[in-house]
Copies of this chain bind each other. A is one copy, B any other.
Amino acid sequence: MVDPIVVENILEQVQQLLEAGDVHQATEILRSLHPADSAEILNRLPQELRDRVVQELDVPELADVLEEMDEDEMVEVVQHLPVDELADVLDEMEPDMAADLLGELDEEQAARLLEEMEDAEEVEPLLAYPEDTAGGIMNVPRHMLRRHMTVAQAIQFLREHYEDEHELFHLYVLDRFRRLVGVVSLRSLILARPEQTLGEIMQTDVLTVPPEMDQEEVARLLARYNLLALPVVDAQERLLGIVSVDDVVDVLEEEATEDIYRLAQVSEDAEIFNPIPQAIRHRLPWLMVNLGTAFISSTVVAQFEGTIARVALLAALMPIVAAQGGNAGNQTMTIVVRSLALGEIEPRDAWRTLRHQLAIGILHGLILGTLVGLIAWFWKGNPMLGVIISLAMLGNLTAAALVGVLVPITLKVLKVDPALASGVFVTATTDVLGFALFLGLATYFIGWLL
């Protein structure tokens, strides 16, 4: 069901059925799949064929499938639905997903849909939070249990209210001001005696998060403490909602992809089969930025045209100095960016991090500089060439460590994602400095090189 090859085959089959006009049979196939798989197939159908299937699906089916899509995909699927049908679908969806979809629509359309919806009061409060925060991924629990309730009463209550609830992990016990006073796991509910009260079996030392916490941080808390769900509370400790582990697994995937793409200077929204104009929008701006820095280093090299005209070999060796600096700087930067993302270091650790990475950079510079110096010497029979390239390497690898630490930490302090732009600064520095150091030293000692 899950194998990409199988999904591919089903997609082909569905597409052929739709093209042959057999919408009924195509829809039956989608119904037989897990909603996550139907969602993938719907996303990959051409718009026109997709609309035909969407019309055939009933409200709960459509809600299930939409919940497996990201925001852009949801909007594509629902754009041709009439308002009243879409309102029904939104009522059926998990409130956090419904809020994400509403947040993508224009304000007027969203307002009209909220008016049409029956459960608007579950969704509306969620619209206040940005979608990448705890508030944006939480759901509002439908129960308010009290500490004097017995286990038997609580089970009775759940039977009445949670027939069809996906997201029941824990029970939340509130006081009369809606403040969270404790949590009861389903496990302890099962293991308790029916006459015990929730107050007796609840856990009171509960980790909570504020609604504005970044979703990535929420995900890491759940991961670090092996939790199934985290309650979101306001400043008065009133329960606002619950973030559950299944929402968060997707967050970790998304955030990792975002970091990987940003480090490679690709827009975080890139996908492998983006239409070509979109793919170019995701990548060309970054190539342009790099072109700018490449021209800067080009003008640096141009300053030394006279030296290069006399010792053309320098042109062959100078990329080595720049490339090694770039690679070492990229290593340091990546470790710093990832450690910042994982919360292993904070900007206040800048000095400690810098000292440590500078030591590594200087050692790399000494080792690689000596090696390259010896190779250059024996290759070209000129010891001075070896000395010059060694010194340039040492200087450039030291600088690489410096920018590799300081650029991402500075961006973090400025509240810019360190993964986003660090690479440009690091490469620009190691290129310019690599060329300038090597060619500058060569110009100074040109008498020894001729």
By a beta-carbon cutoff of 8 Å, the part of chain A in contact with chain B is: 1-2, 4-5, 34, 36, 155, 158-159, 162-163, 165-166, 168, 186-187, 189-191, 207, 219-228, 245-246, 248-250, 252-253, 256-257, 259-261, 263-266, 270-273, 276, 279-280, 283-284, 286-288, 290-291, 294-295, 297-299, 301-302, 305-306, 308-310, 312-320, 322-324, 327-328, 330-331, 333-336, 338-339, 342-346, 348, 352-353, 356, 359-360, 363-364, 367-368, 371-372, 375, 427, 431, 435
> How many copies, total?
2
- A324 to B264, Cβ gap below 8 A? no
**20 A-B pairs (CB sep. < 8 Å):** A1-B207, A36-B226, A227-B246, A228-B246, A253-B256, A259-B260, A260-B260, A264-B331, A284-B367, A287-B324, A287-B327, A287-B328, A287-B364, A290-B327, A291-B368, A294-B319, A298-B317, A305-B312, A309-B309, A319-B431
Interface centre among A222, A315, A336, A360 (most CB of B within 10 A): A315
Q: Are B298 and A224 in contact (CB under 8 A)?
A: no
Give the secondary structure class of A's interface.
Answer: helix
Question: Which residues on B sit within 8 Å (CB–CB) of A343?
Answer: 4
CB distance from A130 to the nearest CB of B (A): 21
Give complex CA distance A150, B291 in Å: 71
Which of B220, B227, B272, B335 meets A336, CB within 8 Å? B272
In the assembly, what is the distance between CA of A320 and CA of B375, in Å? 26
- Across the interface, A286 reaches (CB within 8 A) one of B166, B260, B327, namely B327
Contact of A250 among B223, B257, B323 (CB under 8 A): B223
Given A264-B330, A323-B290; A158-B190 close (CB under 8 Å): yes
Shortest beta-carbon distance from A273 to chain B in Å? 6
Complex partner residue of A345 from B220, B272, B313, CB under 8 angstroms: B272
Taking a contact as CB atoms under 8 Å apart, the answer to whether A294 and B272 are in contact is: no
Closest B residue to A356 by beta carbon equals: B273
A438: min CB distance to chain B, Å = 12
A422 nearest CB across to chain B (Å): 11
Residues of B within 8 A of A290 (CB): 323-324, 327
Would you call B190 and A165 a contact (CB within 8 A)?
no
